[in-house]
Structure 1
């Protein structure tokens, strides 16, 4: 299919004007999202550069076309940088900026050479093809790129762009125009001329969807995550607990709960201020997070109280986690000369009794909370098992347990004191 060059240039002007306006609006809308801001800014630069290239063809100015082509590459490199930021990869900002600056300078300098049009054509499309290929590889290697709604649109866009750029490289040897004419605007082009322009629109739409999905996901995460500690908040803990209790009802596999309270935390706040107290809470939350297994659920229940749910774990198995937490927290230095932090822990296992999930979860937490209170009474910096609370109510059983402990046999009550 062949279209008149003048028609294609008009379409170029319309498409790039539209993407310029849309991308400029997205820069403001996505300014709080780093990846989205880079994508939108890159499209602003690329769209503005596309208008310059289209204008240079009408004016027959190779210098203006070379400048526009170089700016277009800078814009595409900014878009690629946004892709890396989106997937949590190093953004390589300095390398990409330097690459864009070098390519732009080279293209402007080569516009004065006899073979300038052919060299600009080859280098420009060569760099664009490498950028599109690298972007495709980054998208394909990420699972999120395949599950995102916008991901397939961006993939399709870059596949079309890569195909058109490779086709353009094949024409580099026969390019002798005195203007920087995009290959698809050349009357001799045998490739569908509007495909690259459609790909630009498709890519902008796909990138916008990906950025909005990321913003929505972060907002949802913010509703579930405690802002200070990065652990789940109480609401998210309750929802997760309902699911674990429901699984316990179906499978009857062990489920344990640890309720953890920071010892003497009010003294830290009163003596050193709430900012210091917040730092202590963050460090303790990190210790909890680093102590738990991947399957365990850690949350900040409120104030200086935390909770960890341990699926497939009985009460005595959960003591291993309690011991790890005690050791890690004891290594945290308090501000000033306050020594080291410590926590008290109550451990309980779900045994049933109630029928509803809500009641089962409340009973489990209450039993662990009572054990925590007992740990506080016994001197803090230790854990107490919920089963020991039942034993305490039966003196004969407690005496038998003490006799067994003296004889070297393990007692049914388990309590770790400060090291």
Structure 2
């Protein structure tokens, strides 16, 4: 099937106008995403440049200089899009390098347009650069795991594969027919319908990029709704939801589930003496110590204020004491802010450890029972001098009139750690 050249120009103007308007709207819609903002801005620049060239060719006023200028603008836009791809995948964006490449390419196109073989040179430089950008984008996305799992990723990959094929075909055609004038996305000497495929690919790519940016924004918002802004650990709401899921698994399989409730010792004194910024710094350091102490299967969260909680699935209370010991040792390495003329020492925490053994029917009731038992053990650790842990079952033994054994909280073998541990 063949189309008249004027029809292809009209289709080009429609497509570029559409992508220009959509890109302009997406600049605002995706402003919360650095990558999305670059993608949208790049499409605005590229679409504007392509529209100028198409309008000039349609009116019969196009020249090699206008074509070179349009090709340069289009390449600058595609470079912005490629930079957005790198930002999306957390790679160095090479801002200065890509800007330098864009500037050099525009200068080369401008110089080439004044030479005897100007049309062929402009054609070769423009399509050669576009082919390299498409290939680089494809390689970057294929090497990224997220590129294969994102909904919009396959659409962007498909669009760049089509664009790469079209650009290679254009280079081959230009090498065979010297003197060919440059016009984005189609060859003037060909009136077949295939040049419309890259135009469709541009729309497909813009849609795919938009999906990727929206996925990133949604994931960031969901993460923000689940994470504590200060420490980066789970917040109380997310911790409650996770805990009830673990309780449900305990109900089904009976695997042990333990909980550590952790409170920073003398935290109010830090805030009163040094201010809330210093207190926030201490909380972040302690949160890092907790995160580095836990196993991959353990879930850590900030329950509120200076209180933290760690859930330990498939773990009984004796095994959980090993984690409590690691936390105590790591927290003791955290230096508190210096006081007036003297240091204030190091941080410490008190920890209550409890294992889920039963309670009221229902997941929420069981979770509240587990947390309450660990919280009572934490209170006992505070009463007994802080900087230590207490196991909830030891309090039951004491209530029955049995003396609780004691040991230092620095025991390294959980099998050797008794139900109650303290530091001397």
TM-score when normalising by structure 1: 0.93
1:384 paired with 2:390, answer yes
Residues 191 and 416 of structure 1, relative CA distance in 2, 3 Å threshold: farther
User: What does residue 305 of structure 1 align with?
Assistant: 307
Q: CA deviation at 1:360?
A: 1.2
1:4 paired with 2:4, answer yes
User: What does residue 371 of structure 2 align with?
Assistant: 365
Residues 402 and 63 of structure 1, relative CA distance in 2, 3 Å threshold: closer
List structure 1 runs of 4+ shifted beyond 4 angstroms: none
Match of 2:349 among 343, 363, 370: 343
Q: CA deviation at 1:140?
A: 2.5
Structure 1, unaligned stretches of length 5 or more?
404-408
CA distance in structure 1 between the aligned counterparts of 2:396 and 2:48, rounded to whole angstroms: 75
What is the DSSP-based 3-state SS (H/G/I as helix, E as strand, rest coil) of the residue aligned with 1:348?
strand
Match of 1:287 among 280, 286, 289: 289
Residue deviations 1:236-258, cap 9 Å, x none? 00100011011111111111111
What is the DSSP-based 3-state SS (H/G/I as helix, E as strand, rest coil) of the residue aligned with 2:26?
helix
User: What does residue 268 of structure 1 align with?
Assistant: 270
1:225 paired with 2:231, answer no
CA distance in structure 1 between the aligned counterparts of 2:147 and 2:321, rounded to whole angstroms: 41
CA distance in structure 2 between the aligned counterparts of 1:192 and 1:287, rounded to whole angstroms: 60
User: What does residue 151 of structure 1 align with?
Assistant: 153
Stretch moving more, 226-235 or 98-107:
98-107
User: What does residue 411 of structure 2 align with?
Assistant: none
Q: CA deviation at 1:75?
A: 0.9
Match of 2:88 among 86, 89, 92: 86
What is the DSSP-based 3-state SS (H/G/I as helix, E as strand, rest coil) of the residue aligned with 1:317?
helix
Contact 1:5–1:185 (CA<8 Å) still a contact in 2? no
Structure 1 residues 111-126: aligned runs within 5 Å? 111-126=113-128
Residues 171 and 348 of structure 1, relative CA distance in 2, 3 Å threshold: same
Aligned-residue RMSD, C-alpha: 2.0
What is the DSSP-based 3-state SS (H/G/I as helix, E as strand, rest coil) of the residue aligned with 1:309?
strand
User: What does residue 406 of structure 1 align with?
Assistant: none
CA distance in structure 2 between the aligned counterparts of 1:198 and 1:39, rounded to whole angstroms: 17
Q: CA deviation at 1:338?
A: 2.0
TM-score when normalising by structure 2: 0.92
Contact 1:154–1:203 (CA<8 Å) still a contact in 2? yes
Q: CA deviation at 1:56?
A: 4.4
1:374 paired with 2:380, answer yes
What is the DSSP-based 3-state SS (H/G/I as helix, E as strand, rest coil) of the residue aligned with 1:372?
helix
Stretch moving more, 187-196 or 32-41:
187-196
Structure 2, unaligned stretches of length 5 or more?
408-414
CA distance in structure 2 between the aligned counterparts of 1:369 and 1:415, rounded to whole angstroms: 16
Match of 1:172 among 163, 171, 174: 174
User: What does residue 28 of structure 1 align with?
Assistant: 28
